[in-house]
Every structure is written in C-alpha cells, then in structure tokens.
A = this chain, B = another copy of it.
Amino acid sequence: MTTSEAQTRSQAAARLRVAVPSVADRVAAELRLQLAEGRLLPGNRLTESTIAEELGVSRNTVREAFAELAAERLVVRHPNRGVFVASLAPGDIHDVYTVRRAIEVSAIRGGGGPERVAAVRAAVEEGKAAAAADDDEALGSANAHFHGAIVALAGSRRLDTIMSQVLAEMRLFFHKATVEADFYRGYLADNEEICAALEAGELDRAGRLLLAYLDRSEEKQTAVHGE
C-alpha cells in the first residue's frame, strides 16, 4: 500500500498531479451540475449565505466558487447586488455562434489525425444510437460531443476549454428550447455528412457544410428563443 502510494507520488511529480479538488472547486462543480440540469434557471439569484448553508461550506468558499463560474460566464456578478444565473440576450446568441464559427470551422479545416477523426465518427454513431433509443437527453449530449470532437481536431488545449465553456453556456438556455423532441434529430444527417466529408479528406467541403449547419442552427435558436 505505502509502496504504491509512494510510486504514484514520485511518478506524478512533474505534470500529472493527483490533485484533490478543493472545496471551492467542488462547490463550483455542484453549481455547474445544477446549472446544466436546469435546476437553476437563467435570471435566478444565487445568495451566498443560502448556498453556503445548503452545501455546508463557508461563505468565502462559495465566493471563490462564484469567481470560477463568473469567469466561465455561467453567472454574472452585479456589484453589491449578488450573482445571477447568466441569461443570454438575442445578441448573445449571435455572439456565441460567432465564436463557434471561428473555432469549429478553423478546426475542421486543419483536418487532424486519424484517431481524432475517429472520435468525431464515434460521436456521430452515439447520436444515431440515441435517436434509435429515442433518448432526447442522450441525443443532445451526443451533439455536444460531436462538436467538441470537431474542435478537438485542432489538438489545442485552449480551443478545447473555450469550446467547452461555450457549450456550457449554451446548455444554459437550451433547457427551454429542447422541449420539442426532434430538435437535434434534424441535425443527425448534417453530422453524418460532415463526418463523411471529413473522413474523405474533403476538408473544404466539410468546412462549408459545418458553416451552413451553424448558420441554420443559429437561425433556429434565435427563432425559438427569439424575442
């Protein structure tokens, strides 16, 4: 026991720290979860003392967690008024899609190695399986995986985190939009076609398809969430 522990330690010395997440991180993770599940809705207020008591932590710790979430744009701080679950205005939707267009199209044009392309393919199949099982929840997450895999083609840690933040931000206001069952369903064919083009090495075409997809998706989102 002690031996394996010591081994683990010495191995992890350089980069891979076996870091126990701090309490603040766990609080942030819990809030992130509630945000993703829609238990906290945009505009909701998060009171420090309430959350501190609910989770059995100090107010200062909650505060640190808020800082994390604010950096991820999941909540907004109104000075002296409190933090609120972020709510996206119509302009923000366009803004988010502008980021997605920049990142995803650039990533897919780079191509990426075979194993990364395989990850995209896996996400496509995951979506098909979810559709077959009629699992809307799984369908949505498969779609997120697909686009995450697209960005991962670039092999950039920074692009990956940016994308994951954008996806988290979108989940925030998808809860309202996803009530209609076949919201993602129409995108399955798109994903398949994009993936096929990617596998065939037709990067330019894949890029154009993806761009068109994003434009349509933005349009739909704007309409649904619309003002």
Partner-binding segment picked from A2-10, A99-107, A183-191: A99-107
Given contacts A60-B60, A67-B71, A106-B106, contact A159 B78 (CB under 8 A): no
Q: Is A79 an interface residue (CB 8 A)?
A: yes
Could you say which residues of chain B place their CB within 8 Å of the CB of A76? 14
- Kindly state whether residue A203 has any CB partner on chain B within 8 Å: no
| A149 to B: closest C-beta gap in Å | 16
Contacting B at CB under 8 A, from A133-161, are: 154-159
How far in angstroms is the closest Cβ of chain B from A122? Answer: 23
- Once the chains bind, are B107 and A102 in contact (CB under 8 Å)? yes
Number of interface residues of A (CB under 8 A): 35
Contact across chains for B156 and A95 when beta carbons are under 8 A apart: yes
Q: How many copies does the complex hold?
A: 2
**Residue A20 interfacial (CB < 8 Å):** yes
Q: Which residues of B contact A158 (CB under 8 A)?
A: 73, 95-96, 98-99, 166
Residues of chain B with a CB closer than 8 A to A106's CB: 101-102, 105-106
Cβ-defined contact, B162 with A99, below 8 A = yes
Q: A68 interface residue, CB < 8 Å from B?
A: yes
A106 to B98, CA, bound (A): 9
List of B residues within 8 angstroms of A73 by Cβ: 158
| Cα distance, A64 to B64, chains bound together (Å) | 7
A-B contact pairs, 11 of them (CB 8 A): A19-B79, A60-B60, A63-B64, A67-B67, A95-B157, A98-B159, A99-B158, A99-B162, A102-B154, A105-B106, A158-B166
